Each structure stands twice: as C-alpha cells, then as structure tokens.
A and B are shown apart, each in its own frame.
Chain A
Amino acid sequence: MRKITYNLAAAPQVNGRAFALRAVLLVLASLLLGFIAVAHQAGRSGKGRPATVGAGAIAAQMDEMQRQGRRRAAELASWKKAMKRALATVNYLIARKGFSLVSRLDFLEKNFSPGIRIRQLSLANEDDGRMRMTITARSLQELFALYKRLAPYELAISSESQVGDEYQVNMSLKVPNEKI
C-alpha cells in the first residue's frame, strides 16, 4: 500500500533539511548515472576495433560469395550452350519423326478438285520443306479456285502455260505439321 499523507493545511511547509538531503542524493544519482553512461560509452568505443575486424571479415565473405556466383553463372551458361546443341538435335529428330507424308497427300486430295491432275510431286522430308508440283487443269475457274484454297500455304507459282486445252502450272507451297 502507498504511503498515506493526509494534510489539509493550506500552507504546508517544506522540510528544508529533508529537501536538501534529497537534492544532494538526486545530484549524486545524476552524477553516478552520468559516470556510468560515460564508462559504458568508453567501453563501447574500446570494442570498436574488433567490430571493424568483424566487418572486414564479412566484406571478404561477401566478395567470395560474389566470385562463386559469377563462376556458377558461367558454368550455367556453358551448360546451356551444350544443352542447346543437344536440344536442337533432339527437336530435329522429333520433327523428322513427326513429319507425315500421308497427311500431306491427304491434304492435297482434299483441296484438289476432280478436274485437276498432279503430274509431278516432290516432297522434302522436313517440316519447313516446300512441296513442289506440276499440275494440269481443264478450266481456269478450277485453277483459280485451287489458287484461292492454297493461298494461305505460301503458294508460289513458278510457271503457268496452256498446252492444248489444258493449263499446266509449276508451283510450290508449304504445309507445316500444325496446319494439317
């Protein structure tokens, strides 16, 4: 329980001696605190050198880590290069494996109307290879209709001639796997 001081007097007096004693004690306590603070600060600054050494060690460690990082990045790049070649080979093999002559012949059969005949056909065994062919048509309408249908497949007409009542055309087009 706190100390009870019950004094209703309008003009209580301060105990001079007790006040002086408290004031002296307060001053002494302040001085002691100041001394402790100074001593503590001095102790801290004395410990500054080992702290610098510690900071140096940390900087060296960081340098080492950066060096390791660079070395690993270079290793990764060389790995990527080596893998790229292997990857390209694998992709090429997959592409060859995925190339379908049958699908391309089906494509031609679907798009060519009955009045058009294929006289000659050459196919490259690769996805981006062009199909070259020589065709004959009995009517211009059928031929133009064919051109229209093949236009999205990079159609290139190298020659077009009329022989008798037939039209003969040399052309090439490109049919990638994904469009079949």
Chain B
Amino acid sequence: MDLSELLLPQRLPRQVVFAGDRHAEIIVLRERGGISRVRVEGASLAEGGERDWAEVLAKLQPGATGVVFSASPFIYNFFEFDKLPWQRKALRELVAWRLQKIFPENIASYDHRFFRLDAKRVLSILVRRSLAEKAEQALRESGLPLIYLGNSTMEILARLQRAKIRPDFFIESDRDSCTMVFLDRRSPVYIRKFKSSSPADAVEEIARTVTFVRDQYGAAARHYCLIDHQDEASAAAMEENLAAADLARLNDGLGPAPYIPGCP
C-alpha cells in the first residue's frame, strides 16, 4: 500500500455494477449492512455494447457508482526477479521491460498495473484502456460519478487477505468462464482463466489444474472457496462434483458478494 493510499483512503461506492459473462448485476449496499441485487440478464458490458450499458444505467440510482468487471477482460502475469528495487519508478521500469518481452500486443493501448507480492514476485494486470474509457463515458453521460472501476478477482483476493479462512485456492465461476487463483499464505502464486462449454467441462478442467499446481508448485491444493456468479444451484452442483475429486469447499465469512468492494 502506498503512502497516498494510506493517508487518502478511497471512498467506496454504495452502488456497484458487476459486469459478468452475458449478465450484469446491480448491487446496492444498504445502510444497515445488507445488500440488494438486481440482475440484468444478457448484458455483456465487458464487450462494450451501448444497448447493454443503457439497460443497466436505467436501473441505477443517482449517486457515486462503481463498476466491477469479471476476470475475462484482464490479463494476469506473475514476474519473478532475483531482487525487486525499492523505488517505485525503478520497479515500474523493470516490470515494463519484462512485460515487453512476453506481451505481443501494443502495451500503450492497455492499462498496466502491478502489485509487489513479496521480495521477488510481482503480479502484473493488463486491461484494455478502451474498457475503462467506455465505462467512464457511459456513466458520465448518465450523470453518475464513477468512483470505482475494479476487477472481481482482485476484490476476492483482497477480501481473502482479511478473511479468517485460508483456502488453498478460489474459483470464480461464471456462465462461460472460470478463474482459479491458487494461494500460498494468502499470496497468489498461480492464476488460470479458461472458457468452459459446460459445468462438467469446468469441473474436469478445475481438477486438471489442481493436479498441475500440485505437481508444479508442490502446493497442498485441497480447500477452496467458490464464488459462483450464476446461482446457488449451479454452485451446489459444482461443489458436489468437486467433492468427488477430493476438493473441499470453504466459504465462511466471505459474505454474499465478495467481489464487490465494501460489501459486508
């Protein structure tokens, strides 16, 4: 955490739009700690459809608003160095240099942020600038101040840093895609995103990924948290299937929407 973040804490929005795969969800944090949710099916906000944005914006209340995208439009990379420089500028140059070596596209058209994970590792996150610009433009035209533009995976990760439970990994599942984040002492060590055509495919891919991480990282990947953006029934079905692969679900204390900043 930077000094500016420590001294100037950001205000979190009371109203957040979650942009998932072919759906959006408007979550309003109530004063007494509860939340209200409105689901907009078929909205693909990450793809920037104006009609989808209009449909969602029509349901928003006036006031400071946040938008949280699912993991789909984001690109994650872990970079490991012998030693990380302390100076922020030097670290930025080092990470940018490493990124240029592996990233085939024009980095200037992407927003690049990175996080120091420990003395040697950095988590880099890329997202197209146009995604944020479209969201900003849509909310500006509606007269709603956009004060938060986040990423559901990072929100869950931040929440797990404070949570009592310590899962080995978490799964963020949506209609078409799935994201797995493997943790070592609450710090991410491996992230995988994949598309799945069916829940059965997703479970198979999850089991395969767990085996891969066990082999490659020697990590005890057994306990997981599941954040399903569809419904309880789909989450229960996935949990049952994963139990067959000797994977145990932990979800205590994560709250009803752990991918929303400030959600109880």
User: Known contacts A8-B127, A14-B10: does B150 contact A2 (CB below 8 Å)?
Assistant: no
In residues 22-48 of chain A, which contact B (Cβ within 8 Å)? Answer: 22, 26
Residue from B8, B113, B118 within 8 A of A19 (CB atoms): B8
Is the pair B161, A12 in contact by a Cβ cutoff of 8 Å? no
Interface residues of A, dominant DSSP: loop
Measured between beta carbons, the chain B residues less than 8 angstroms from A7 are 10, 148-150
In residues 94-147 of chain B, which contact A (Cβ within 8 Å)? Answer: 111, 113, 115-118, 125, 127, 132, 136, 145-147
Is the pair A4, B9 in contact by a Cβ cutoff of 8 Å? no
Residue of B nearest to A18 (CB): B9
User: Known contacts A1-B117, A1-B118: does B150 contact A6 (CB below 8 Å)?
Assistant: yes
In residues 53-72 of chain A, which contact B (Cβ within 8 Å)? Answer: none
Q: Is B7 an interface residue (CB 8 A)?
A: yes
How many residues on B have C-beta within 8 angstroms of the other chain's C-beta atoms?
A: 36
User: Known contacts A1-B187, A14-B11: does B111 contact A8 (CB below 8 Å)?
Assistant: yes
User: Known contacts A5-B158, A8-B150, A9-B146: does B9 contact A22 (CB below 8 Å)?
Assistant: yes
Residue from B9, B116, B117, B154 within 8 A of A15 (CB atoms): B9
Measured between beta carbons, the chain A residues less than 8 angstroms from B147 are 9, 11-13
In residues 1-53 of chain B, which contact A (Cβ within 8 Å)? Answer: 1, 5-12
User: Complex: how many Å from CA A6 to CA B113?
Assistant: 8
Is the pair B158, A3 in contact by a Cβ cutoff of 8 Å? yes
User: Complex: how many Å from CA A7 to CA B115?
Assistant: 12
Q: Is B213 an interface residue (CB 8 A)?
A: no
Is the pair A1, B9 in contact by a Cβ cutoff of 8 Å? no
Measured between beta carbons, the chain B residues less than 8 angstroms from A13 are 10-11, 64, 145, 147
Measured between beta carbons, the chain B residues less than 8 angstroms from A5 are 1, 5, 10, 158
A8 shortest CB reach to chain B, Å? 4
Q: Is A16 an interface residue (CB 8 A)?
A: yes
Is the pair A15, B11 in contact by a Cβ cutoff of 8 Å? yes
Interface residues of B, dominant DSSP: mixed
User: Complex: how many Å from CA A15 to CA B125?
Assistant: 25
Measured between beta carbons, the chain B residues less than 8 angstroms from A4 are 115, 154, 157-158, 161
Residue from A1, A3, A9, A16 within 8 A of B149 (CB atoms): A9
Contact with A along B169-197 (1 / 0, CB 8 A): 00000000000000001110000000000
Measured between beta carbons, the chain B residues less than 8 angstroms from A88 are none
B230 shortest CB reach to chain A, Å? 24
Is the pair A8, B11 in contact by a Cβ cutoff of 8 Å? no
Most buried by B among A2, A15, A22: A2
Is the pair B125, A6 in contact by a Cβ cutoff of 8 Å? yes
Is the pair A15, B150 in contact by a Cβ cutoff of 8 Å? no
Measured between beta carbons, the chain A residues less than 8 angstroms from B154 are 4, 6
In residues 83-133 of chain A, which contact B (Cβ within 8 Å)? Answer: none
Is the pair B1, A2 in contact by a Cβ cutoff of 8 Å? yes
Is the pair B145, A11 in contact by a Cβ cutoff of 8 Å? yes
Q: Is B70 an interface residue (CB 8 A)?
A: no
User: Complex: how many Å from CA A1 to CA B66?
Assistant: 25
Q: Is B151 an interface residue (CB 8 A)?
A: yes
Q: Top 7 A-B pairs ranked by shortest CB distance?
A: A6-B154, A15-B11, A1-B187, A8-B149, A18-B9, A13-B11, A9-B149
In the complex, given contacts A12-B10, A19-B8, what are 20 additional A-B residue pairs having Cβ atoms less than 8 angstroms apart? A2-B117, A3-B161, A6-B125, A6-B150, A7-B148, A7-B149, A7-B150, A8-B111, A9-B66, A9-B132, A9-B147, A10-B132, A11-B146, A12-B11, A14-B8, A14-B11, A15-B10, A15-B12, A16-B11, A26-B7
Interface CB pairs A-B, < 8 A, 24 = A1-B185, A2-B1, A2-B116, A2-B117, A3-B158, A3-B161, A4-B157, A4-B158, A5-B10, A6-B151, A6-B155, A7-B150, A8-B113, A8-B127, A8-B150, A9-B66, A9-B146, A9-B147, A9-B149, A10-B146, A12-B147, A16-B11, A19-B7, A22-B6
